[in-house]
Amino acid sequence: MPARGSCPPRGLAHPITATATLAIPLDGLTLTAPHPEMLSQKNVESVTGIPARVFLDTIRGPGFPLPVTRLGKLRLVQREAFVAYLQALAGDPASRRDADGDEQTRVAAVLAAAGLEPIPCARTGRAVAPPHGAGDGRLRRTRGGLVRR
């Protein structure tokens, strides 16, 4: 006899069961998985919408504040910390200007240590080679790249 008052109908030894197949179209289902704990170049685009190349350039850039775990060629960053970092960048344009200024200062220091000086380009604001025939201590462009005069 089944426990606690659930009895089959009189005259039947076993309860009646029914089996049915239900067809649900695939576009009617929504499957969600939890976000991964760590972001890598393989999953960053599906989680944040950022292309893998931009992700890698960001985490390799000078002054990136988050710890990066390296497993072979795979680079891992904690998802929550990376998203918070992106939100901070988006919300504070002054900090981006400060970071750009810091980078320009570091570049100028490296060039000065090599006896060179940056020459800003009007279009991009980046250092470029001076015109051909410029004085000593400057870079000139050759087919092989930039060389010191």
Mean per-residue pLDDT over the chain, rounded: 76
> Per-residue pLDDT for 125 more than 60?
no
Spatial distance between the Cα atoms of 121 and 79, rounded to a whole number of angstroms? 37
> Which pLDDT belongs to residue 140?
61
Spatial strand order in the sheet of 69-71? 38-39, 74-78, 69-71
12-29 exposure pattern, b = at least 16 Cβ within 10 A, e = fewer: eeeeeeeeeeeeeeeeee
3-17, 52-66, 86-100, 134-148: the lowest-pLDDT one: 134-148
Dihedral-angle region of residue 37 (phi above 0 means left; psi in -120 to 50 means alpha; beta otherwise) = alpha
Task: Choose between 110 and 137: higher pLDDT.
Answer: 110
Q: Supply the pTM of this predicted model.
A: 0.43
Task: Spell out where the chain has E strands.
Answer: 38-39, 69-71, 74-78, 139-142, 145-148
- One-letter identity of residue 104: Q
How many helices and strands, by DSSP H and E, does the chain display?
Answer: 4, 5
